[in-house]
Amino acid sequence: MADERKTENLLPLELENIIQEQELAVADARSIDQIVGDLEKGVESYNKLKQVALKLTGPEDWVQLGKQPYLLESGAQKIAKAFGVAIFDVKVDIQWQEDPKGRYQLVMAKGKAFSRKLGSYVEDIGTCSQRDKFFAIENEKLKPIEDVDFANVIKKAVTNLYGRLIKRVVGLMGVSWEDLDKAGIKPGAKVDFKEKKPLSPEAKKIGELILEMAGGDNEAAKKMLQSISEFQTKDGKSHYASSVTELSELWAKKLLPKVQKAYFDWKTASEPEEGPDDRS
């Protein structure tokens, strides 16, 4: 992750080229003022180019990942067409990795790209593994690796590579919401990927009690949670949680006594009633 951030903070390639050219040219007779002036012009034309690139995309091409906008493949392809991008020499390397949960495979896709319009060239890597949350997690549990479709894992690594190559070759890493605003792309297009927070002890307890009441049946537990958590707001709209992960800390705290009561009632009802001892 740290490496990724480091890469994203690098100067856009075109700018790097300009700076390198300027550095080589220090030996000539230009004054420092002139060099700074040229650099400013370079930055200005880069910013203009960036605006054009962003304008080629639409709100549907962006989602919010973490706190930053993230360009989807659809948007990357629109930009690539304008800048005459070619991706080539794509190779895939598969490595075995190990973590406390066992062995799994990591796919590293490597490739190169150049832009005919910008004259820029980059090499990059895209990765995906059998631990990827989209393929490996089912009902909040890690699937055995043999159940994770490996073709999808390779495809995602290559798709990630293509996205990175296009963005880097046209100098579009690290786009901000402000950049999108300037390009007329409204932040209304943001899609929040909920960051996974650890469950609060209350939410965890609710999950355990409900699952027990549902006899270990996940689907029945989901319905039970929906029913027990349902409440209406002033406008008459109904709200409920389908998974304990949807419960905020406060909501879980409020809900726990209700679930505990339901659990107590269920437990009492399911215990055999005391009656006359008929064994005699």
Which one-letter DSSP state was computed for residue 132? -
Q: Does 63 bind another protein (CB under 8 A)?
A: no
Q: Does 49 bind another protein (CB under 8 A)?
A: yes
Q: Does 204 bind another protein (CB under 8 A)?
A: no
Contact 144, 16 (CB under 8 A): no
Closest CA to 222 of 210, 238, 204: 210
Q: By rule CB under 8 A, what string of x and - marks binding of each residue 159-188 to another protein?
A: x--x--------------------------
- For another protein, which is the closer residue by CB, 110 or 205? 110
Q: Which residues contact 244 (CB under 8 A, 6 or more apart)?
A: 199, 203, 204, 206, 207, 210, 225, 252
Find the binder of another protein among 70, 150, 177, 263 (CB under 8 A).
Answer: 150
Find the binder of another protein among 55, 143, 204, 254 (CB under 8 A).
Answer: 55
| Single-letter residue type at 124 | D
Contact 171, 15 (CB under 8 A): yes
- For another protein, which is the closer residue by CB, 64 or 226? 226
Find the binder of another protein among 15, 39, 52, 189 (CB under 8 A).
Answer: 52
DSSP, residue by residue, 80-129: HHHTTEEEEEEEEEEEEEEETTEEEEEEEEEEEEEETTTTEEEEEEEEEE
Shortest distance in whole angstroms from residue 155 CB to another protein: 4
According to DSSP H, which parts of the chain are helical? 2-8, 13-24, 32-55, 73-82, 133-136, 150-169, 177-182, 201-213, 218-229, 249-270
Q: Does 62 bind another protein (CB under 8 A)?
A: no
Shortest distance in whole angstroms from residue 238 CB to another protein: 7
Q: By rule CB under 8 A, what string of x and - marks binding of each residue 1-20 to another protein?
A: --------------------
Contact 71, 57 (CB under 8 A): yes
Interface with another protein by CB under 8 A: which range of 22-30, 63-71, 85-93, 263-271? 85-93
- For another protein, which is the closer residue by CB, 51 or 176? 51
Site for another protein in 16-45 (CB under 8 A): none
Encoded tokens for 248? 């905020």
Chain contacts with another protein (rule: CB under 8 A):
49, 52, 55-56, 77, 80-92, 109, 111, 115-117, 149-152, 154-155, 158-159, 162, 238
